[in-house]
A and B are shown apart, each in its own frame.
Chain A
Amino acid sequence: MTEPLVGLEKASVGYGRTPLLTGIDFAVGAGDFLAVVGPNGGGKTTIVRSALGALPLLAGRRTGRRPLRIGYVPQREHVDAIWPLRAGEVALMGRVPGLGPWRRPGPADRAAVRKAMERVGIEDLHDEPYGDLSGGQRQRTLIARALAADPELLVLDEPTNGMDPSAELATMDLLRDLHHNGELAIAMVSHRLEAVANYARTLAFVDKAQSLFRTGGLEEMLQPEALSALYGRAVHVRELEGRKLVYPVERRPEVVR
């Protein structure tokens, strides 16, 4: 097996001294497309932040390549649009960690930003105020910022949260293009399985309320047993015009005789 880019072994994650989830084992390798799925507040983001080293582990260890070029896309709502920054200035921040404290961004950094914005289709928005952009355009700006660092691994936290179906599809199509059969490893967090079921190659189901952490290949995780472990009820998967549809099945009341 190739060296993972990032991963956890026998890890306990949480805030302070209280573990939210224990015994977590997973790894994201080069070319992977992992989606961490579970309910809101289920511990998905905590696991990802712990794997990236942004949160200290309560037990276990972090694995992966050091140093690793990471591009991180936070939840769009966590980025304050009141700042009077232009989209290009926001994207340029992706170069800051690589520059170090004493160097200023130069022509190479600006060229990388232009290229990243072009890659996500927003090169014409370079000089537009970030706060004036639509939700989808802001999301693309944040993805461009992550790409500007020329990452080996792109990590996204709920990238389609609050989007209408069309924008959600466009964002997921963009991630598929960026992944491009493994050129860029992607790990994303989502509370909507149906949003990622047609794109991810690996799934991780997370729910701290059930002490659930389970990971596997897409087909394995879309089996009824795995899905019912996450949702606590029957969930069906159907294919329609080449796309997987995931939907819960209505519980039928038992007939009392």
Chain B
Amino acid sequence: MSPWQSFLEAREIWQVPLTASVIAGALLGALGVYVVLRRTVFVSAALTQLSTLGLVAALLVEERIHIETEQSGVQLAVAIAVSVAGALVLGAIRFRRLPAEAAVGGVWVVASALVVLGASLLAHAAHDLGGLVFGNAVAVPSSDLVIIAAVAAVCLLVHGFFAKELTFVSFDAETARALGVRVGLWDSLLFLTIGLAIPVTARALGALPVFAFLTLPAAAALLGRAGYRAAFPVAAAIGVVAAGGGYVLSWLWEIPTGATMVAIAGVILLPGAVIRLRG
């Protein structure tokens, strides 16, 4: 039996994780347009680490204080809480004497260090952590698919209804503020959707692919000279191709799923980058 035939026969195993990956790829790809254009790529990296830190904290509480958090719903709730709080703070942070990048970089590196320290203290749950950090797209439960789909629907509604406000405050916050638009409120709403999307998709894809999907599809769409409105569906489509294609190829070739997804997203980015470099 060829690898392709065996893949098709195993449909019951992969249909939920593949669907979750594809939805996650589309969601993160579209949100990434804001992340890239607002020059907040590093914010998404920091949020991904914060989300992972939330999961580590939940596992530590369970092991050390014997408070029951082993249910995935509780772990996810902690990760969402940490990620959303981080998104709201990092999205609003403005120091007069310090570039915002310095604060974001500080959060990223400290969160990364705390993840490593926390993981070193975990005795039994370290195996869970591997899936949380690097993704476990092969085994996504149906409940996670439902959560990813629900978050994607919420993000779609928010960005559909409030596109003009989110675009205005992201493109030119100074003018929006001068005209009485509540920039802080709209920024918070935008980062709330990003802060929600990161932890729920990180459970399926892993931290590295989530960071990649918030960056590469949007960058590919923009390098391909997609207009502003078109950039969202184009980036979402690239996310779908990279997530779906990466999942299938990783199955067929028996290679790491998350890394394959990122590699495909990178390959899609290349032609536009080469054309821009030449021209």
- Chain A residues in the interface with B (C-beta under 8 A): 15-16, 49, 52-54, 70, 72-74, 78-80, 82-86, 89-90, 93, 96-97, 99, 101-102, 104-105, 129, 145, 149, 155
8 chain-A/chain-B pairs, Cβ below 8 angstroms: A49-B178, A78-B172, A83-B37, A84-B222, A84-B225, A93-B175, A97-B176, A145-B175
| Residues of A with C-beta under 8 A to B226 | 84
* Shortest Cβ distance from A48 into B: residue: B178
Contacts between the two chains (Cβ within 8 Å), count = 69
Given contacts A15-B96, A96-B164, A101-B161, 12 further A-B contacts (CB under 8 A): A72-B179, A79-B172, A83-B228, A84-B222, A84-B225, A84-B226, A85-B227, A93-B175, A96-B168, A97-B176, A129-B227, A145-B175
| Residues of B with C-beta under 8 A to A70 | 178-179
List B184-216 residues whose CB lies under 8 Å from chain A: none
Question: A79 CA to B162 CA in the complex, in Å?
Answer: 21
* Shortest Cβ distance from A129 into B: residue: B227
* Given A15-B96, A96-B164, also A85-B228 (CB < 8 A): yes
Range class of the B interface residue count: 20 to 34
| B181: interface (CB < 8 Å) | yes
Question: A84 CA to B176 CA in the complex, in Å?
Answer: 19
| Residues of A with C-beta under 8 A to B39 | 80
Q: Mark B125-162, 1 if CB is under 8 A from A, else 0.
A: 00000000000000000000000000000000000011
What's the least CB distance linking A151 to chain B, in Å?
10
Contact present for A85 and B96 (CB under 8 Å): no
| Residues of B with C-beta under 8 A to A15 | 96
* Given A74-B172, A84-B227, also A54-B178 (CB < 8 A): yes
Contact present for B222 and A93 (CB under 8 Å): no
What's the least CB distance linking A85 to chain B, in Å?
5
| Residues of B with C-beta under 8 A to A84 | 222, 225-228, 231
| Residues of B with C-beta under 8 A to A52 | 178
Contact present for A89 and B228 (CB under 8 Å): yes
What's the least CB distance linking A95 to chain B, in Å?
9
| B101: interface (CB < 8 Å) | no
What's the least CB distance linking B211 to chain A, in Å?
20
